[in-house]
């Protein structure tokens, strides 16, 4: 029966690719429609002046989630894409000159943490055990069963286990401070929140599973650049019979009462569908792909967008030997930084800066003797009530470059020979993300308990969503997992219909 089911997937980001592959593996007929000129969504690439810039994600974690797509299809991921471990994981820079590496090697970690105090390594070991417990509990239900709400969480785990194992009464920051005393290590562990574009002071303590995800499953680079994963999934999808159409924009989802029936393209043509899966974020999809936004959209206000970013891709004509592949330059006032971004909706005066130097792992990404410096400070998403101007973003660019030069990247401005500069408006225009957000829905324990939007539409019985705005959330592995979980939901719903 599945072979007779025709699925249209809107958007070929990782969530859409994963859904298309997962459904094709089960025998569905799948058409994957992408408005841009290539698959991958925010996993994007730009070749410019001899530099290869990965425009989107720069870290691969949980590679087993991607591998499952290949295993289900009877393939080996190693035949499509190669990954390599990154060591150290991160290099952390502080204004007082302290530098500390995060490493997968326990011995190196002990040596690094010793500079923060004699008991810090032991505190970190206790924290990592806590992080592992959060991760294992989450994998047991939220990930493996695709739980979509706090009610489903309670039903699966039971009330007592839910309250105890998920540390529900603490914020992420409070969870860190249960174990860690040194302020620098607190700041490092708090900044794992970068994976989901939220604030550690607002996010639930559950987000402390993120360090174990990195330490337990490793931190990886995709050989040839991160975009190679999109190319690998595209190849697999085509082999499975998925029809992929780029430069093809969906402008309307058509429906009759509680069932979607077709999608209309920008050229006026219509493709009928038994099932529609949208990789476009839920709120923008409801607001733009229906002639009248459905009633369902009004119930989604608590799922506010994550932060955005000022994305600077720099090609420089020298090598900065002090950098690792992944680097963080920390704010001297971290709470003020997060407060500016998430509460004042303002540009931080002293942002924490994530800096990627991929040439450390892959010299082929830049001309000889040159380096790529990707810079990403988190900034507010677009807010029509508090609009920011191009001049505001330009001023932040200058503050960021001044901070990096002060903290050791000598004469960085003078060595820039190539630049690509994106603001939230660019991100919104390219990907139709909600208000220019990068990571989907913000994780906030008071607004949404850290949950994202459910994958099943509550109004249309054959409309489903994947990507960073739905559970299990943003980031490469989670949006890829969302495609696999939506397959499970679709199969379960079809089975339930067959029984009725």
Does residue 223 have a pLDDT over 50?
A: yes
> CA 237, CA 291: separation in Å to the nearest integer?
31
Per-residue pLDDT of 320-340, as tens digits, reads 999 999 999 999 999 999 999
Per-residue pLDDT reduced to its tens digit, 6-34: 999 999 999 999 999 999 999 999 999 99
Q: Which of 433, 486, 444 is nearest to 56 (CA)?
A: 433
Report CA dihedral (86, 439, 284, 36) to the nearest 10 degrees. -20
Compute CA 232 distance to the chain's CA centroid, rounded to the nearest angstrom.
Answer: 19
- H or E segment to which residue 186 belongs: helix 183-190
Residue 138 CB partners (closer than 8 Å, separation 6+): 166, 206, 209
Closest residue by Cα to residue 116 from 182, 174, 59: 182
Q: Residue 500: pLDDT above 80?
A: no
pLDDT for residue 298: 86
Neighbours of 303 (CB within 10 A): 22
pLDDT of residue 149: 87
d(CA 223, CA 76): 16
- pLDDT value of residue 256: 94
Mind listing the domains of the chain with CATH numbers? 2-41+225-304+448-499 (3.50.50.60)
- CB contact at 8 A, 403 and 355: no
Q: How do residues 139-175 score in pLDDT, each as one tens digit?
A: 999 999 999 988 898 999 999 888 888 999 999 999 9
User: What are the phi and psi torsion angles at 254 (to 5°)?
Assistant: -90, 150
Q: Mean pLDDT in the chain?
A: 96
pLDDT score at 6: 98
Predicted confidence (pLDDT) per residue in 382-407, tens digit: 999 999 999 999 999 999 999 999 99
* 346: enclosing H helix or E strand: none
The verdict on whether omega for the bond into residue 472 sits within 30 degrees of 0, i.e. cis, is yes
The whole-number pLDDT of residue 1 equals: 45
Mean pLDDT of 169-196: 97
Distances (CA, A) of 312 to 45, 377, 400: 14, 9, 10
Cα angle 12, 15, 19; round to 5: 90
Look at residue 497 in the predicted model and tell me its pLDDT.
86
Whole-number pLDDT of residue 294? 84
């Amino acid at each position: 029966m599945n072979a007779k089911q025709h699925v249209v997937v809107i958007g070929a980001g990782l969530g859409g690719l994963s859904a298309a592959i997962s459904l094709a593996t089960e025998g569905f007929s799948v058409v994957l429609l992408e408005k841009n000129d290539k698959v991958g969504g925010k996993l994007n690439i730009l070749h410019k002046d001899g530099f290869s810039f990965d425009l989107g994600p720069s870290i691969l974690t949980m590679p087993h989630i991607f591998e499952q797509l290949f295993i289900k299809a009877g393939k080996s991921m190693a035949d499509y894409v190669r990954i390599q471990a990154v060591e150290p994981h991160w290099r952390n820079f502080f204004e007082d000159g302290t530098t500390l590496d995060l490493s997968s090697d326990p011995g190196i970690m002990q040596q690094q943490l010793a500079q923060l105090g004699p008991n810090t390594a032991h505190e970190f070991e206790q924290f990592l055990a806590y992080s592992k417990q959060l991760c294992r509990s989450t994998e047991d239900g939220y990930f493996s069963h695709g739980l979509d709400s706090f009610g489903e969480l309670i039903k699966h785990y039971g009330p007592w286990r839910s309250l105890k194992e998920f540390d529900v009464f603490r914020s992420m920051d409070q969870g860190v401070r249960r174990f860690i005393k040194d302020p620098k290590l607190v700041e490092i562990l708090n900044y794992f929140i970068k994976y989901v574009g939220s604030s550690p002071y607002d996010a639930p303590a559950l987000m402390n599973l993120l360090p174990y995800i990195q330490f337990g499953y490793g931190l990886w680079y995709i050989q040839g650049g991160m975009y190679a994963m999109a190319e690998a999934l595209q190849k697999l999808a085509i082999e499975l019979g998925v029809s992929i159409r780029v430069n093809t924009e969906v402008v309307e989802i058509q429906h009759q009462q509680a069932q979607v029936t077709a999608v209309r393209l920008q050229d006026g043509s219509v493709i009928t569908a038994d099932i529609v899966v949208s990789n476009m974020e839920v709120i923008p999809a409801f607001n733009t792909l229906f002639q009248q936004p459905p009633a369902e959209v009004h119930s989604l206000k608590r799922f506010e967008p994550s932060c955005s970013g000022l994305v600077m891709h720099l090609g420089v004509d020298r090598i900065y030997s002090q950098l690792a592949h992944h680097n963080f330059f920390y704010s001297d006032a971290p709470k003020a930084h997060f407060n500016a971004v998430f509460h004042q909706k303002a540009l931080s005066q002293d942002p924490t800066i994530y800096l990627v130097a991929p040439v450390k792992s892959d010299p082929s990404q830049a001309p000889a003797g040159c380096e790529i410096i990707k810079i990403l400070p988190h900034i507010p998403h677009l807010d029509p009530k508090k609009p920011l101007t191009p001049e505001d973003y330009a001023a932040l660019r200058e503050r960021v470059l001044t901070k990096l030069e002060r903290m050791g990247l000598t004469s960085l401005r003078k060595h820039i020979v190539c630049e690509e500069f994106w603001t939230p408006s660019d991100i919104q225009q390219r990907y139709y993300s909600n208000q220019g957000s990068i990571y989907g829905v913000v994780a906030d324990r008071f607004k949404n308990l850290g949950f994202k939007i459910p994958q099943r539409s509550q109004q249309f019985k054959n409309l489903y969503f994947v990507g960073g705005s739905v559970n299990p959330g943003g980031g490469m592995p989670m949006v890829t997992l969302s495609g696999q979980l939506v397959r499970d939901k679709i199969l379960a719903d079809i089975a339930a219909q067959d029984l009725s």
